[in-house]
Structure 1
Amino acid sequence: MTIHRGSCLCGTVKFEIEGEFDSFFLCHCKHCQKDTGSAHAANLFSQSAELNWQAGEKAVTSYSLPDSRHSKSFCKHCGSALPNTQNEGLLVVPAGCLDTPVAIAPTAHIFTKSKAEWEDIIAAAPEFTGSPE
């Protein structure tokens, strides 16, 4: 059985996920752009994996956008995105909160009609291994 470990930015919340991910979507919808502050969200999904909080579960809070299926969990101290289980038992895990490698490649880009105008030119931006001088 595969075990993935993750945490929040401040280290208060730690968790393990036991099981496999079914899909890995890069979502470009306006809701995901707003809640990540970026061009898209990168979320892993599983119908069968189990989420086990190892530390800081009381620091986890959630928000559900009214009249939508959009919800997110996050650390109330640092704001880092964290896993959540939706009503249908679907586990949603923000890929960036994992501390262990993700073996599954992204399944698809979704809601690309809402794609940020600047996203297609990202590849042309210069790259630095650290902060630019």
Structure 2
Amino acid sequence: MSSSSLKGSCLCGAIKYEVTSILPQMAHCHCTMCRKFHGAAFATFGVARSADFKWLQGKEKLKTYRADNGAARQFCEDCGSSLTFAASDCDGLFVEFSLGTLDSPLAIKPDAHIYCRYKADWYEPNDALPKFPEGRDSSE
């Protein structure tokens, strides 16, 4: 899915980015790490080809948390905003970024809930989106 230059930023505005095309698969991730990193019932990520994503400002303020499983999460060193996620087997061709950091309106919507096996016990996703116990390739 092509979009015309969407802009995003962290909470304090120190880091800014631009994405020119987002892939159509966007998911609400309910894994424990996403919940803890975002401080919410789930995190919602968009995916772009690395060539379609660029940091406009503040790249030097990005910090990386690397989990025991090798996943890398980037955030702003000043305000703590979660900005990107990379699985341990990431080849660098794509960037997963937090849709909550977009400043531009987005015409496409998330299409699934993933890692629902780990969802917060106080939240029940009751929408019509498919719900997967693990990733998209797991059985509903």
| Greater RCO, 1 or 2 (C-alpha within 8 Å, sep 6+) | 1
1:82: which partner in 2?
83
Aligned 8 A contact 2:15 2:58 in 1:
yes
Aligned 8 A contact 2:25 2:110 in 1:
yes
Taking the aligned partners of 1:49 and 1:25, their CA distance within structure 2 comes to 21
**1:84–1:49 distance in 2 versus 1, CA, 3 Å:** farther
**Does residue 72 in structure 1 map to residue 69 in structure 2?**
no
Report SS of the residue matched to 1:96. Answer: helix
**Does residue 5 in structure 1 map to residue 7 in structure 2?**
yes
Query: What percentage of aligned pairs have identical amino acids?
Result: 33
Taking the aligned partners of 2:68 and 2:115, their CA distance within structure 1 comes to 19
TM-score scaled to structure 1, two decimals? 0.80
**1:121–1:92 distance in 2 versus 1, CA, 3 Å:** closer
- Shift, 1:62, TM fit: 1.3
Matches within 5 A, 1:53-72: 53-68=55-70, 70-72=71-73
Aligned 8 A contact 1:10 1:78 in 2:
yes
Taking the aligned partners of 2:125 and 2:109, their CA distance within structure 1 comes to 22
Taking the aligned partners of 2:124 and 2:98, their CA distance within structure 1 comes to 22
Q: CA RMSD in A?
A: 2.3
2:43: which partner in 1?
41
Matches within 5 A, 1:79-118: 79-83=80-84, 87-88=90-91, 89-118=93-122
Aligned residues: 122
Matching residue's letter, 1:104:
I
Report SS of the residue matched to 2:53. Answer: strand
Residues 44-77 of structure 1: CA deviation (Å, up to 9, x unaligned): 1134652211111110111121224x32111101
